[in-house]
């Protein structure tokens, strides 16, 4: 008699990777054996076991005509049957699937995704069923099931149905579910949907007339859709983001920072001109959340600074931004390193002042402070905090330019001397530039100023440089400059030019000093005439008095020079001004026989009472001497 195989023996044979062989003699097994074998096979299929042993058992049962499954048995095994690399299981599953009701279509399509041929056929079968149905009123949930099946053909079929049966609001709800999906394959499903040909039109249609999705979809998912989506989808979202970013840059900064680098850079470049015209409203709580959310996103942090640097903001709002960024290490580094770029914006002073108000936090990042910022920070920083920066500044100063001369705090006096000596030792001393040497010579700090005087003396003072120092109005520097002018002699080829430069200075003290020198020096009549000719053109009262006095004392030959007539006319015509100079001219005219009669007539008619009386007396004297005076008759 044929002995049936023990079921325990059969069960052992289903172990994975274990070969399974049924002798030909067993093909005539009893119904009890085949029934037991089928039961065990179904149990293994429920566990997802599709090993070679299980497939051979299925082949055996199929050969004997005993492998048949009821709909109740096949339904939970659908995916395993399609997944198994067996024509038998797939044939059984396909037979069940094609006869399934329409509302079960997503379930069977999800199972059939493991077999491309069967999947393609099933989609067409379901399409025809739905097409020929007299009335199909599938729920939104039913359609969304297709979009959550990880196969492009099924997803596209789902959107094909949605286009026919759903409204825009229901489509938006499906997209919302896809974006909020947190399952392991959420990103894969989202990509399949945004790339589905039938989904593209529906996405644009359901999202083009509102922007709520920019607030409700996560920025990461929106950036992913733009990256993976078709061009119309990408164009729509980028346009909406651009418009929103222009209106509220801080609200949408995190979203923009998640875009591809080229896209976000172009977007920022496009929106930047709008920021300059916008008054930025900064909420401290939201700003803190944004900075925390950006985290290590350097581009986002830099853009935050760029927005604030170009927009219309107050000092208080800038202080908020700077203070919050200094709270986190990475954002603080970005802030300090970015300062050099910010100096080219309209709000640069706001940033420097805001940083100067946070010296204790800034000190931790002093190594990142750009060269261009050091001086501005130290000049605005409270004096109480400068001591903490003394060592850091001493380390950085050798790399700085002549802007360090703008620092006037006594604490840094020795540091500035070290900077001067450092550049001098390297042959880069600012002594080669008169502009910088002058700045050093008039520096508010005594040691720096004295260092400049020493170097200027070592180089040899020139008249124009000494004149500038003389005009600085600093007692120590003025005294130093006077040593040059006190040493000039009449024999000097530039003697006249030097004296004229002093007397022509815009500083009254310098002009007085020049006149004092003139009065102490004996000069030849030729040089004196030259000096007087130049000085006669000056409007200063003291200089005009000096010229008038000298002309009163000089020889008649000088008084015949052309400049004297113009000088006299100018002095006499000034009413109530330069009285001393005018009296000197009047005294000289009283002693001369040749005077300008026309000027006397003019004074007699329009001058002050004293000038008019004097002019009349002079005209009378000239008439008595036989001079003809037009417009004047002596009765």
For every residue of 442-477, which 3-state class applies, written as one string? CCCCHHHHHHHHHHHHHHCCCHHHHHHHHCCCCHHH
More confident residue, 96 or 346: 96
Taken in order 374, 380, 382, 383, is the CA torsion positive or negative? Answer: positive
Same domain, 587 and 599: no
More confident residue, 378 or 575: 378
Q: To the nearest whole percent, how much of the chain has pLDDT over 90? A: 33
Query: Is the confidence at residue 131, as pLDDT, over 50?
Result: yes
Q: What is the pLDDT of residue 28?
A: 54
Query: Is the confidence at residue 12, as pLDDT, over 60?
Result: no
The pair of structure tokens assigned to 234 is 């990408």
The SS3 of residue 618 is helix
Instruction: Please name which of 164, 158, 161, 166 lies closest in space to residue 196, comparing C-alpha atoms.
Output: 158
Distance of CA 538 to the CA centre of its chain: 53
DSSP for 88-126 reads HHHHHHHHHHHTS-GGGHHHHHHHHTT-HHHHHHHHHHH
Q: How far apart are CA 226 and CA 238, in angstroms?
A: 8
Query: Is the confidence at residue 613, as pLDDT, over 80?
Result: no
Most confident of 175-179, 280-284, 427-431, 492-496: 175-179
The pair of structure tokens assigned to 191 is 């990509």
Same domain, 603 and 629: yes
Flag the least confident range among 270-279, 344-353, 501-510, 607-616: 607-616
Q: What is the pLDDT of residue 632?
A: 59
Residue identified by tokens 């009378």 is 620
Most confident of 322-336, 369-383, 550-564, 604-618: 322-336
Residue identified by tokens 């006190």 is 486
Domain interval for residue 622: 594-634
Q: What is the pLDDT of residue 626?
A: 64
Residue 617 lies in a domain: yes
Residue 578 lies in a domain: yes
Q: What is the pLDDT of residue 431?
A: 60
Q: What is the pLDDT of residue 493?
A: 67
Residue 390 lies in a domain: no
Query: Is the confidence at residue 171, as pLDDT, over 90?
Result: no
Flag the least confident range among 32-46, 155-169, 241-255, 490-504: 490-504
Read off the pLDDT of each residue in 126-132 and give the average, rounded to a whole number. Answer: 86
Q: How far apart are CA 398 and CA 394, in angstroms?
A: 8
Query: Is the confidence at residue 369, as pLDDT, over 90?
Result: no
Most confident of 328-332, 362-366, 561-565, 618-622: 328-332
Residue 259 lies in a domain: no
Q: What is the pLDDT of residue 63?
A: 82
Q: What is the pLDDT of residue 36?
A: 86
Q: How far apart are CA 585 and CA 3, in angstroms?
A: 156
Read off the pLDDT of each residue in 89-98 and give the average, rounded to a whole number. Answer: 90
The per-residue b/e assignment along 438-466, b for 16 or more CB within 10 angstroms, e otherwise, is bbbbbbebeebbbbbbebbeeeebebebb
Are residues 310 and 347 in contact, defined by beta-carbon separation less than 8 angstroms?
yes
Q: To the nearest whole percent, how much of the chain has pLDDT over 70? A: 89
Q: What is the pLDDT of residue 148?
A: 94
Read off the pLDDT of each residue in 215-244 and give the average, rounded to a whole number. Answer: 94
The string of pLDDT tens digits covering residues 97-126 is 999 888 899 999 999 999 999 999 999 999
Residue 611 lies in a domain: yes
Q: What is the pLDDT of residue 134?
A: 47
Residue 212 lies in a domain: no
Query: Is the confidence at residue 25, as pLDDT, over 60?
Result: no
The string of pLDDT tens digits covering residues 70-81 is 888 888 888 898
What's the domain count of the chain? 2
Are residues 34 and 63 in contact, defined by beta-carbon separation less than 8 angstroms?
no
Read off the pLDDT of each residue in 528-538 and give the average, rounded to a whole number. Answer: 77
Read off the pLDDT of each residue in 314-318 and give the average, rounded to a whole number. Answer: 92
Residue identified by tokens 């908020």 is 320
Same domain, 586 and 611: no
The long-range contacts involving 504-508, CB below 8 angstroms and separated by at least 24 positions, are 504/538, 505/467, 505/470, 505/471, 506/471, 507/470, 507/471, 507/473, 508/540
Provide the mean pLDDT of the chain: 83
Query: Is the confidence at residue 266, as pLDDT, over 60?
Result: yes
The pair of structure tokens assigned to 32 is 């009890």
Residue 199 lies in a domain: no
Residue 190 lies in a domain: no
Q: How far apart are CA 371 and CA 241, in angstroms?
A: 37
Q: Is 487 exposed, middle or buried (0-12, 13-18, 19+ CB in 10 A)?
A: exposed
DSSP for 235-300 reads HHHHHHHHHHHHH-TTTTHHHHHTS-HHHHHHHHHHHHHHHTT-B----HHHHHHHHHHHTT-HHH
Q: How far apart are CA 137 and CA 158, in angstroms?
A: 14
Q: How far apart are CA 81 and CA 91, in angstroms?
A: 9
The per-residue b/e assignment along 230-241, b for 16 or more CB within 10 angstroms, e otherwise, is beebbebbbebb
Q: What is the pLDDT of residue 429?
A: 55
Q: Is 492 left (phi over 0), alpha (psi -120 to 50) or beta?
A: beta
The string of pLDDT tens digits covering residues 181-209 is 999 999 999 999 999 999 988 899 889 88
Query: Is the confidence at residue 2, as pLDDT, over 50?
Result: no
Q: What is the pLDDT of residue 318?
A: 93
Query: Is the confidence at residue 277, as pLDDT, over 80?
Result: yes
């Amino acid at each position: 008699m044929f002995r049936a195989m023990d079921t325990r023996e059969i069960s052992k044979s289903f172990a994975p990777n274990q070969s399974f062989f049924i002798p030909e003699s067993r093909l005539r097994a009893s119904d009890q054996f085949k029934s037991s074998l089928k039961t065990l096979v179904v149990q293994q299929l429920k566990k997802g076991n599709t090993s070679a042993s299980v497939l051979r058992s299925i082949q055996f049962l199929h050969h004997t005509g005993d492998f048949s499954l009821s709909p109740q048995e096949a339904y939970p095994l659908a995916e395993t049957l399609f997944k198994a690399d067996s024509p038998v299981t797939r044939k059984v599953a396909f037979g069940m699937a094609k006869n399934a009701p329409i509302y079960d279509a997503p379930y069977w399509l999800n199972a059939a995704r493991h077999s491309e041929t069967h999947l393609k056929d099933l989609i067409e079968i379901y399409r025809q069923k739905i097409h020929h149905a007299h009335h199909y009123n599938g729920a939104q949930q039913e359609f969304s099931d297709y979009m959550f099946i990880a196969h492009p053909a099924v997803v596209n079929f789902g959107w094909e149905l949605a286009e026919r049966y759903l409204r825009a609001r229901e489509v938006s709800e499906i997209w919302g579910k896809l974006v909020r999906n947190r399952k392991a394959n959420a990103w894969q499903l989202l990509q399949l949907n945004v790339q589905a040909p039938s989904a593209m039109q529906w996405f644009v249609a359901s999202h083009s007339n509102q922007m709520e999705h920019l607030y409700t979809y996560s920025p990461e998912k929106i950036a992913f859709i733009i990256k993976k989506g078709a061009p119309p989808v990408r164009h729509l979202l980028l346009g909406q983001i651009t418009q929103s970013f222009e209106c509220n840059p801080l609200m949408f900064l995190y979203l923009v920072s998640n875009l591809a680098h080229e896209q976000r850079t172009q977007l920022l470049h496009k929106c930047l001109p709008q920021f300059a015209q916008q008054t930025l409203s900064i909420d401290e709580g939201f700003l803190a959340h944004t900075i925390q959310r950006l985290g290590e996103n350097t581009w986002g942090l830099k853009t935050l600074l760029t927005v604030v640097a170009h927009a219309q903001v107050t000092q208080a709002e800038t202080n908020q931004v700077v203070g919050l960024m200094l709270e986190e290490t990475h954002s603080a580094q970005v802030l300090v390193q970015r300062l050099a770029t910010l100096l080219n914006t309209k709000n640069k002073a706001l940033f420097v002042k805001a940083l100067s108000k946070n010296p204790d936090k800034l000190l931790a990042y002093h190594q990142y402070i750009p060269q261009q910022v050091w001086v501005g920070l130290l000049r605005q920083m409270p004096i109480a905090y400068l001591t903490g920066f003394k060592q850091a500044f001493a380390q950085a100063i050798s790399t700085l330019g002549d802007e360090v001369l703008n620092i006037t705090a006594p604490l840094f006096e020795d540091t500035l001397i070290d900077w001067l000596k450092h550049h001098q030792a390297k042959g880069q001393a600012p002594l080669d530039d008169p502009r910088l040497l002058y700045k050093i010579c008039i520096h508010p700090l005594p040691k720096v100023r004295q260092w400049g005087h020493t170097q200027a003396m070592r180089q040899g003072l020139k008249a124009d440089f000494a004149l500038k120092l003389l005009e600085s109005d600093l007692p120590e520097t003025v005294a130093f400059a006077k040593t040059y002018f006190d040493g000039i002699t009449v024999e000097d080829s530039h003697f006249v030019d030097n004296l004229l430069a002093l007397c022509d200075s815009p500083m009254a003290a310098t002009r007085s000093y020049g006149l004092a020198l003139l009065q102490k020096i004996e000069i030849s009549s030729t040089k004196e005439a030259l000096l007087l000719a130049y000085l006669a053109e000056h409007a200063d009262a003291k200089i005009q008095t000096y010229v008038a006095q000298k002309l009163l004392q000089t020889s008649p030959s000088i008084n015949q020079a052309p400049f004297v007539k113009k000088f006299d006319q100018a002095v006499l015509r000034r009413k109530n001004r330069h009285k001393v100079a005018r009296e000197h001219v009047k005294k000289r005219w009283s002693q001369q026989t040749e005077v300008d009669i026309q000027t006397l007539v003019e004074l007699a008619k329009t001058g002050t009472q004293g000038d008019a009386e004097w002019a009349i007396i002079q005209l009378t004297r000239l008439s008595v001497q036989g001079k003809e005076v037009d417009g004047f008759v002596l009765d």
